[in-house]
Structure 1
Amino acid sequence: MASNEPKQGGGFFASIASGLSTFGSAMTKSVNGLLGYEGLEVINPEGGTEDAEEEAKKGRWKQEDRDGYWKMMQNYIGSDVQSMVTLPVLICEPSTNLQRMAELMEYSNLLDLADKCEDPYMRLVYSSSWAISIYYAYKRAWKPFNPILGETYELVNHGGITFIAEQVSHHPPMCAGHAENEHFTYDVTSKLRTKFLGNSIDIYPVGRTRVTLKRDGVVLELVPPPTKVNNLIFGRTWIDSPGEMIMTNLNTGDKAVLYFQPCGWFGSGRYEVDGYVYNADEEPKILMTGKWNESMNYQPCDLDGEPLPGTELKEVWRVADAPKNDKHQYTYFAHKLNSFDTAPKKLLSSDSRLRPDRCALETGDLSKAGSEKTRLEERQRTEKRTREAKGDKFTPKWFDFTDEVAPTPWGELEVYKYNGKYAEHRAALDSSNSDEESSNAKSTEFNPWQYGDLAAE
Structure 2
Amino acid sequence: TPISHYLHYEATSHVLTGDKCVLNFKPCGMFGKELHKVEGYIQDKNKKKHCVIYGKWTECMWSVDPQAYEAHKKSEKKGDKKQKNVSHSGSENDEADNMPEVQETVSVVPGSTLLWRIDSRPAHSSRMYNFTTFAMSLNELEPGMEAMLAPTDCRFRPDIRAMENGNIDEASKEKERLEEKQRAARKERAKNDEDWSTRWFRLSTNPHTGNQDWIYNGDYFNRNYKDLPDIY
Q: TM-score, normalised by structure 2?
A: 0.67
Report if the CA contact (8 A) 1:403-1:414 is conserved.
yes
Residue identity matched to 2:223: H
Report if the CA contact (8 A) 2:9-2:24 is conserved.
yes
Superposed counterparts of 1:44-443, under 5 Å:
242-251=6-15, 252-302=17-67, 305-306=70-71, 312-324=111-123, 325-341=126-142, 344-346=145-147, 347-402=149-204, 415-425=213-223
Residue identity matched to 1:273: V
Query: Which of the two has higher C-alpha Rg?
Result: 2
1:317 aligns to what SS in structure 2? strand
Q: Judging changes above 3 Å, is the alpha-carbon distance between structure 1 residues 416 and 382 closer, same or farther for their aligned structure 2 residues?
A: same
Q: Which stretch has the larger CA shift, 373-382 or 352-361? A: 352-361
**How far is 1:365 from its partner?**
3.2
Q: Judging changes above 3 Å, is the alpha-carbon distance between structure 1 residues 416 and 249 closer, same or farther for their aligned structure 2 residues?
A: closer
**How far is 1:291 from its partner?**
0.8
| Counterpart in the other structure of 2:106 | none
**How far is 1:345 from its partner?**
4.5
Greater relative contact order structure (CA < 8 Å, 6+ sep): 1
Cα displacement string for residues 117-162 of structure 1 (whole angstroms, at most 9, x for unaligned residues): xxxxxxxxxxxxxxxxxxxxxxxxxxxxxxxxxxxxxxxxxxxxxx
Report the aligned-residue RMSD: 3.4
Report if the CA contact (8 A) 1:284-1:305 is conserved.
no
Report if the CA contact (8 A) 1:406-1:414 is conserved.
no
Report if the CA contact (8 A) 2:14-2:208 is conserved.
no
**How far is 1:378 from its partner?**
0.9
Cα separation, 1, equivalents of 2:188 and 2:22: 47
Superposed counterparts of 1:31-50, under 5 Å:
43=1
2:142 aligns to what SS in structure 1? helix
Q: Which has the higher strand share?
A: 1
Cα separation, 1, equivalents of 2:12 and 2:205: 23
- What is the aligned residue count? 188
**How far is 1:293 from its partner?**
0.7
Q: Judging changes above 3 Å, is the alpha-carbon distance between structure 1 residues 384 and 345 closer, same or farther for their aligned structure 2 residues?
A: closer
Residue identity matched to 1:420: G
Report if the CA contact (8 A) 1:284-1:304 is conserved.
no
2:169 aligns to what SS in structure 1? helix
Gaps of 5+ in 2: 73-109
Report if the CA contact (8 A) 1:258-1:275 is conserved.
yes
Residue identity matched to 1:365: N
**How far is 1:335 from its partner?**
2.1
Residue identity matched to 1:319: I
Q: TM-score, normalised by structure 1?
A: 0.36
Cα separation, 1, equivalents of 2:33 and 2:152: 44
Superposed counterparts of 1:15-34, under 5 Å:
none
